[in-house]
Structure 1
Amino acid sequence: MPQFAPTLRARLPALRARQTRSGRLGYILSGHGPAHIVLFSGAGMSLKGWEALYPGIERIGRVLGWNRFGLQGSDAPRGRQTGTLVLGSLRELLASTGLGPPYVLVAHSLGGLFANLYARLYPREVAGVVLIEATHPGDHVALKKHETQIERALARLLALPNAFFRRNLHAELAGVEDTVRELEAAGPFPDVPLRVITGGLTPRAGMMSPGAVGARRANQQELARLSPLGQQVIAQRSGHFPQMTQPQLVLRVLEELLAQVRTS
C-alpha cells in the first residue's frame, strides 16, 4: 500500500468557474491518476475543507472539487438547495469539464446525502463511494436543530466570520428534508465498493446528547451496510473532520477502495 507522506505543503489548485442553468459554480480540477474522483463538501464548507488531502489525492486520480451555491466562486443560492437541484448543477459541471464516468464519490457530512442520492439515481456512473462522517437520512432532524451550533463550529474551524457562510448553510439545511424525500423515492444503493469513515472522538456534551451520539453511531454503521461491499473505518484521532485531522488515513482508505474497484 503506498504511503502518502507529505512532501509538499498542502495547497488547493486554482479556482475556476463554469456557468450552469442554476448559476455559476466555482470548482477545481487537477490530478493525473487513473480514477475520476468527485468531492462533495459538507454544509457551509468550501473547498478549503479538502486542502489537507492535496497533493496526495492528485496522484490517485483526476479530482474535481466544487463549491455549491453560496460559497467561494459560486453564485448565491436562488432557492431551496434540494438534492435534485444540487446534482443537476453538478452534472452540468461534469459534462462541461469533460470529466466522464465512472466516478468515485468522496463525500463529507451533508455532502454524503447528495452522494448517496447520486449513486441511487445514476448507479451506472458510480464505481465506488467514500463517505466521511456522512449525514444519514435519519440525521436531518438533529441537523436543523443544531444549525446555530454548526455555524459557530464552522466559524471557529475556518477562522472566518459567520456571515461568510451563514446564507449558504441556512439554504442547504432548509432543503435537507426535500433531499431525504428524494432519497426515499430513488432506487436502491448500488452494489459498489463503499467505505464509511467515522470519527472516533465523542462530540462535546454541549454539541450532542449521549442519546444523539448513540443514534448517530448506529446510523454510521447503517450507512456501511448500504452495499454488500461496504466497510466502516474508525478514524480514532478525529471528530467530524477526518479529512482535515487524519488526511493520510483518508488517502489510504481511498486507495484501498480503488484497489477493490479494480478487482470487483
Structure 2
Amino acid sequence: MILLLAPFAMFAVLAVLGVVYQRVGARRDQKRFTAMGRWVTIGGGCRLFVREQGAGGPSVIFESGIAATNLNWFHIQEHVAQFAHTASYDRSGLGWSSPASSVRTPGNIATELHAMLRSAGIEPPYVLVGHSFGGLVVRRFALTYPEEVCGIVLVDPMRCEEWPPLDPSKQSQIDRGVKLTAYAVPIARVGLARLAVTSLLCRSGLVCGKLAGAAGEGGKHVLGRVREEVGKMPPETWPMVAAHWSRPSYYVGMSSHVGAVPQTVREMMDAEPIHGIPVTILTPAKSSPLCQERLARIGDNVQQIIAPASAHWIHLDEPDLVIESIRGMVMSTIPEALPVSV
C-alpha cells in the first residue's frame, strides 16, 4: 500500500513546491518590475498600472492589442516621449492591473481608461494610439469623449468583419483560445508556466523546448511564433514579459478578452463615424488595404498609410513608421511647440 501511494505523495509534494515557487517568484517580479510606473485607482477597488514618460504637447495615450500589456509599446513610447507626454497602461485583467469586473468590450474599457486618465491627472487633449483590438477601444473612446481627443493613430486595427458574429467561421478559433487559456491557469498556479517562459525568455530555452516538444507539432508551432514576435521587442522587456506570462491572472484576463470578441463586434460593427478628428490608419502590406467605404465608416478625416515591410505587429516590424505617424499627428495639433527633429 505504501508503495502504491508513493507516486501520489510525490506528486502532491511537487505541486506544493510548484505553488510556493510561483508565489515567491510573483512577489519578486512585482518588486522588480513595477518601479517604472504607478497604480491609479478608478473606483470599485480597481487599480490600473500606468507608465508615463515625457512632457509637453497633447498626451499620447497607448492602447494595446487584445492580450497585450503596456510592454508592447516599450520601444515606441521611449521615442515618442522625446517630443510629447506619453502614457501606456495595463487594462483590467492584464499585466499588473486588477482583475476585470466587466465584460472586455471597447465601451467598458474606454470608460475605465477615461476614469484612469482623470484619476491620474492626465489632462486632455489626447492623441490616442491603438493596435488591433486597441484600435476599437480608442475609436469608442473618441466617440464617447470627442471633445477630449485631438488625433488618432490606428495600428492595423481589428476588422469586425473578420470575426463572429459577422464571420462565424472564426468562432472555433475563439473557443479554442478560451479553452487553452483555461488549461493554462492551473499550469501557471503550480509554477510550470513560470518555468517554461523563464527558460524561453531569460535562459537557454532548453526546458521550454522540451515542454513544447512534448505537446507535439502544435506546441512547436506556438513556440516558434512566440520566439519570433517577442524577439522583435527590446531584450530588456523579455524578463518583464516572462513575469506577466507566469501569472495565472494573465491567462484569466486573456480568456475574458478573447471570449468577449463576439460582443465587441456587435458593439462596434455599426459604430458611427468619428467626426472632426484626424485619423491615421497604418495597414500592413501583407493585408488588404481598407477600401474608401470602410475608411469613411471609421471617420470623415482618415488617412491610410501602407506599412510595406509589416505583418500585423507594425509597431514591432516598422517602429520608425509608427513613431513618425504619431509625431505627425502631434505636430499637426501644436506645430509651434515641437522641434523640427529629435
User: Residue 246 of structure 1: which of 295, 318, 328 is its match?
Assistant: 318
Query: 3-state SS of the aligned residue for 2:163?
Result: helix
Match of 1:171?
256
TM superposition shift of 1:224: 6.8
Candidates 133, 138, 157, aligned match of 1:110 = 133
The root-mean-square deviation of aligned C-alpha atoms, in Å, is 3.1
TM-score, normalised by the number of residues in structure 2: 0.62
Going from structure 1 to structure 2, the CA distance change for 1:144 and 1:49 (only over 3 Å counts) comes to farther
In 1, the alpha carbon distance for the partners of 2:268 and 2:156 equals 18
Which position in structure 1 is the counterpart of 2:17?
none
- The one-letter code matched in structure 2 to 1:140 is W
Given the alignment of the two structures, is residue 146 of structure 1 paired with residue 173 of structure 2, yes or no? yes
Q: Is 1:197 equivalent to 2:282 in the alignment? A: yes
Query: Which has a greater percent of helix?
Result: 2
- Alignment check: 8 A CA contact 1:27 1:73 kept: no
More strand by share: 1
Contact 1:224/1:232 (8 A) holds in 2? no
Amino acid aligned to 1:129 = I
Largest Rg, 1 or 2: 2
User: In structure 2, do the counterparts of structure 1 residues 18 and 183 end up closer, same or farther at CA, with 3 Å as the change threshold?
Assistant: same
Tell me whether 219-228 or 173-182 shows the greater mean CA deviation.
Answer: 219-228
Pairs within 5 Å for 1:1-264: 14-22=36-44, 23-141=46-164, 144-147=171-174, 152=222, 155-156=226-227, 157-158=229-230, 160=242, 161=245, 165-183=250-268, 187-200=272-285, 202=286, 214=288, 217-218=289-290, 222-223=294-295, 226-262=298-334
**Identity fraction in percent:** 25
Distance 1:66 1:180 in 2: 23
Which amino acid is the alignment partner of residue 67 of structure 1? Answer: D
Q: Normalising by the residue count of structure 1, what TM-score does the alignment of the two structures yield?
A: 0.78
Q: Which moved more, 1:241-250 or 1:160-169?
A: 160-169
Contact 1:121 1:187 in 2 (8 A): no
Amino acid at match of 1:239: A
Distance 2:52 2:42 in 1: 17
* 1-structure distance, mates of 2:311, 2:296: 18
* Contact map agreement 2:177 2:255 (CA 8 A) in 1: no
> Structure 1: any 5+ residue segments left out of the alignment?
1-11, 203-212
Moved more, 251-260 or 114-123: 251-260
Query: For the structure 1 residues 80 and 60, does the alpha-carbon distance in structure 2 shift closer, same or farther, using more than 3 Å as the test?
Result: same
Structure 2 gaps, min length 5: 1-33, 182-221, 231-240, 336-342
Equivalent residues, number: 240
| C-alpha contact (below 8 Å) 1:136/1:219 kept by paired residues | no
